Amino acid sequence: NASLLEVPLWCNPSLIGAIALSFALHFAILYIPVFNSVFSVAPLGLAEWKAILCISAPIILVDELLKWVARTFVDPPTVVTRGKGGSLKKTKVE
């Protein structure tokens, strides 16, 4: 439930590599003529890229909102302390 603002992408090099590889393969399929015919696709124009960005950008905002709701209401931060007799006690952080 960590926000993208709290955990930057560069903290996970495997994720960066996977994203870069995915982008490279998508661009290869879209813009290398041999792959166009193999996969029966056509290169995207500026209007299609704008549509992709407009449709996909809100997903990040909605995901961040859902993470905030989960952190705040579903699984709020707790502090674990040792009570009498050695038992563990969880208390919510206000």
Q: Which residues pair with 80 in a beta bridge?
A: 90
Q: What tens-digit pLDDT sequence spans the chain (94 residues)?
A: 778 778 777 888 998 999 999 999 999 999 999 999 999 999 999 999 999 999 999 998 999 999 988 888 887 777 777 777 777 776 766 6
pTM attached to this predicted model: 0.62
Type and span of the H or E element at 31 = helix 13-31
Angle 30-36-41 from CA coordinates, rounded to 5°: 75
